[in-house]
Structure 1
Amino acid sequence: MESKNILIKDATIIADEIIKGSLLIENDKIVEISDKIGISDAEEVILADDKILLPGLVNTHTHLSMTLMRGLADDIPLDSWLNNHIWPVEANLTGEHCYAGALLACAEMIKSGTTCFNDMYFFMDQVAKAADEAGIRGMLSHGMIDFGDEEKRKNEFKETIRIIKKCHNTGDGRIKVAFGPHSPYTCSQELLEGVKKESNKYGVRIHIHVSETQKEVSDIQEIHGKRPFEYLNDINFLGEEVTAAHAVWVSDSEIDIIKEKNVKLSHNPSSNMKLSSGISPVAKLLDKEVCVSLGTDGPASNNNMDLFEEMKISALLQKVNTMDPTVLSAANVYKMATINGANSLGLENEIGSIEVGKKADIVLVNMKIPKLTPFRNPISHLVYSASGGDVDTVLCNGTVLMKNKELLTIDEARVIEIAENASEDLLSKC
């Protein structure tokens, strides 16, 4: 996508400190932050006197195309939700369905301030197509499941490597590919060991679900005699390139393993609450200096992709769970949605904070609205008062994706129509 020099003028900028000033973008990068930048230095000027400027939010665990299943199976435990409702529908998925669902998810994320996501699903080249058209940044992984079937295992590797070769580092570098073994309970040891080997070979990351439910933990213990993270550690699967979603049911010894191996975790509180999976010990994990980021999970188990909502829920859930109002402060949960998210995807040198030299992934939030008044503490307001609907303008990689709440790279009405038709077609096949 074409980038140009853009000046965002007179914003309240959340960087290392909160300042009132302007930010200059050249091509895809932030090149200056100052209160002395002249309008003549830019091809486009965005006036932001009444806006908060922050880095684009990073959603570290998604299943984008499940937007088509939003509201399909609510109020059901995870095991039944997957086996009796979701997997039967997914058996009928096509690339066209996944493209439509992903395009809808991209529209939803942009409109609520997310500029980067970490996705695991199917037909990922179609998801890459949608993300590229929308202009958003994404890390994509084909969901690998073999249940011990050797032929299926071979096909899962074949598909993942196809996606790596076709899509990795495309879209002006915005689109990257990872390996996506679904979980320790759906993947054989041979698949997990193969993923570790092949991810090293291709130099890409790994995205996996771990310890989401008590049943998963007990099943793994029954089969392997160890808890999930202990088992994964014993087969040398864990490492700094692994992003593990959920980590709800983790023991103290597993937390030590996670820290030692520098595994990145994605906390998904809304999904975990909706499916009654449990509460991840995020406060304890952060005390141990584990990198914990935020994810929404799929739109069928959340049921939206609003990371502002996820920030507030994360903070409140930890406070009531520990009966300590001081845990998971607004500042810490804000980091989970920004720089920790970037770190979880190995992108901390490119995105996740407002710094000269980093990519211009930027969100402007309108602060001249009743619920953000009086304007006293920007980070507190963003975490406890704001919602995704307050996002006004979004840039990714130096390109304006939304301005004054209007999507510019994709046609919102068309996206909604395509997704509605795709969902109706998908469900008609069940």
Structure 2
Amino acid sequence: MTELLIINGRVITQDADRTVIEEGAVAVQGDSISAVGPTAEVTANHDGDTIIDAGGGAIIPGLINPHTHVSDILLRGSFAEDRGLLDWLYNVKRPGTLMMQPKEHATAATLYCIEAILSGVTTFVESDTEVVWDDWADIEAKLDIYDRSGIRNIYGAGMVDCGPEDAFRELLLNIQARDNDVEHPPLERFVEETDTVVEEVNSLINTYHGTANGRQSIWPAPVVVETTTTRCFQAAYDLAEEHNVMTTVHVAEAEAQEQRSLSSIEYLRNIGYLGDRALLGHCVQIDEDDVRILDATDTSVAHNYMSNMRLATGFAPVAAMLDTGVTVGLGTDNSILNDTVSPLNDLRAMAGGHKGYHRDPGVVPTQKAFDMVTIDAAEAIGRADNLGSLKIGKQADITIVDFDRPHLTPSPDPVFTLVHAAQGSDVNTVVCNGDIVMQDREIHSFDESLDSILSRAANTAADLVDRVGYA
């Protein structure tokens, strides 16, 4: 007996041929897909304990967000206007997130997961850059919420093992002077001895990787080149290989951090960090030689279009990456910068933005844009074998988008509609690992009412802002 049947939808398989099945269906047995095809054919061969009628909507792979930050969602909507990257990071984000207690991290994680589910996301990679390894209370508070959410998360455990050099330190202190009333953490607050941080991350992987019925993953995540030693980078890649996971790092996000004769990409290649287990976030300030290195080493990139635009860090050379063959996924990055965590909300802006920047309507084609939140995003996080498309044997991560809406009508090409017209609010149903996480916009994951969650998040955020001392 098939446990779940999703019928009467436009199935966007994202298989190798990018097959679209009109009047299609997907059958789910346990945690995996057991059939994909026309509704008449699938229902003739499969009976479902539970049947969901997609009503002509798009049945798509669960969306994958390969680069995001969670805790700073409580700072959303304020304090990020007219700030560059370092101004925002050292005067806004870090003071706020470091002030948070475990319970507040849990509240942030709950709000984040609610919004992600409502937006059709079934997998996200959290790159946690403000990790204090004194204990795991903050981390565990979030991991508990991710477990309860019903969707997949990959927790990138931040690794920092050196402080800023003198010139960079002076720059940061001058930047922090803009907000003297804010309680700034010491610049060395997140720095640990190399062996200590490697041991902590290794222990965290051993403890939590593969939990939550396989939905929980842990990656080693050096934060940036400037605060990571060569030995730490090499140890992070070794951990990834040892535990059969990946590793991620922020690279070349802003020009101020890239004033060196050897590019960050060249450096990471030379020390052995690049490869098919490495996912690089941003890659804005890189050149053609760097792009070729990414391709030659089979290194993937998480493109964070909206946050790069908000901080005015520039256009990452995504068109060149795609032309060269580099795998690129689209991330939403910080909730405080984007300011949503919805990949569908970002697709139209990202695809259109690159066309305008290059004055070439052919760059970032519609299908490729949709690939960047499905199959290419799965490839970027090392999970293309079981995520990112609707195929027999793959994990049953499925999102249904309601097309019965004025702004989605008419829809002769459903992929075009998904990229250039759909919003996260058009998502109707989410299935992850074979379980119905949301149906008809009703989330099944949390016992607390949505009104209560939103009220708690708003009150927590107001208290946090007051304690940090933002003007």
Aligned length: 423
Alignment match, 2:31: 28
- Alignment map for 1:34-113 (pairs within 5 Å): 34=37, 35=39, 36-38=41-43, 41-75=47-81, 76-113=83-120
Partner AA of 2:416 in structure 1: S
Is the Cα–Cα contact under 8 Å of residues 55 and 338 in structure 1 kept in the other structure? yes
Alignment match, 1:141: 156
**Does the residue aligned with 1:304 lie in a helix, a strand or coil?**
coil
Deviation of 1:42 (Å): 0.7
Distance 1:404 1:177 in 2: 31
Partner AA of 1:196 in structure 2: Y
**Does the residue aligned with 2:429 lie in a helix, a strand or coil?**
strand
**Does the residue aligned with 1:301 lie in a helix, a strand or coil?**
helix
Is the Cα–Cα contact under 8 Å of residues 125 and 167 in structure 1 kept in the other structure? no
Distance 1:120 1:4, change over 3 A: farther
Deviation of 1:152 (Å): 4.2
Alignment match, 2:415: 379
**Does the residue aligned with 1:429 lie in a helix, a strand or coil?**
helix
Distance 2:105 2:290 in 1: 35
RMSD: 1.8
Distance 1:402 1:198 in 2: 35
Distance 1:162 1:99, change over 3 A: farther
Distance 2:210 2:102 in 1: 21
Alignment match, 1:128: 143
Q: Is 2:8 the partner of 1:10?
A: yes
1:29-53: CA deviations, max 9, x gaps? 1101233233871111111122110
Is the Cα–Cα contact under 8 Å of residues 4 and 398 in structure 1 kept in the other structure? no
Q: Calculate the TM-score normalised by the size of structure 2.
A: 0.86
Distance 1:110 1:21, change over 3 A: same
Distance 1:262 1:414 in 2: 45
1:319-373: CA deviations, max 9, x gaps? 0111001111111100011001111111101110111111111111111110111
**Does the residue aligned with 1:130 lie in a helix, a strand or coil?**
helix
Moved >6 Å (runs of 4+):
none
Alignment match, 1:208: 249
Q: Percent identity?
A: 29
Alignment match, 2:173: none
Distance 2:302 2:383 in 1: 15
Partner AA of 1:407 in structure 2: I
1:192-232: CA deviations, max 9, x gaps? 222223333333210110011111111xx1xxx31111111
Is the Cα–Cα contact under 8 Å of residues 141 and 160 in structure 1 kept in the other structure? no
Deviation of 1:422 (Å): 3.0
**Does the residue aligned with 1:91 lie in a helix, a strand or coil?**
helix
Distance 2:210 2:456 in 1: 27
Q: Calculate the TM-score normalised by the size of structure 1.
A: 0.94
Partner AA of 2:32 in structure 1: K
Which structure 2 residue ranges, 5 or more long, are not aligned? 132-137, 164-187
Partner AA of 1:62 in structure 2: T
Distance 1:251 1:37 in 2: 49
Deviation of 1:314 (Å): 1.3
Alignment match, 1:358: 394
**Does the residue aligned with 1:37 lie in a helix, a strand or coil?**
helix
Distance 1:84 1:151 in 2: 22
Deviation of 1:154 (Å): 4.1
Is the Cα–Cα contact under 8 Å of residues 237 and 277 in structure 2 kept in the other structure? no
Distance 2:19 2:404 in 1: 21
Is the Cα–Cα contact under 8 Å of residues 142 and 159 in structure 1 kept in the other structure? no
Partner AA of 2:43 in structure 1: G
Deviation of 1:294 (Å): 0.5
Alignment match, 1:267: 303
Is the Cα–Cα contact under 8 Å of residues 304 and 333 in structure 2 kept in the other structure? yes
Q: Is 2:236 the partner of 1:190?
A: no
Distance 2:375 2:43 in 1: 29
Greater CA deviation, 142-151 or 100-109?
142-151
Alignment match, 1:160: 201
Distance 1:164 1:415 in 2: 30
Deviation of 1:408 (Å): 1.2
Partner AA of 1:426 in structure 2: L
1:276-301: CA deviations, max 9, x gaps? 01001111100001000000001011
Q: Is 2:431 the partner of 1:428?
A: no
Is the Cα–Cα contact under 8 Å of residues 125 and 163 in structure 1 kept in the other structure? no
Q: Is 2:455 the partner of 1:414?
A: no
Distance 1:242 1:313 in 2: 26
Distance 2:454 2:437 in 1: 17
Greater CA deviation, 399-408 or 194-203?
194-203
**Does the residue aligned with 1:13 lie in a helix, a strand or coil?**
strand
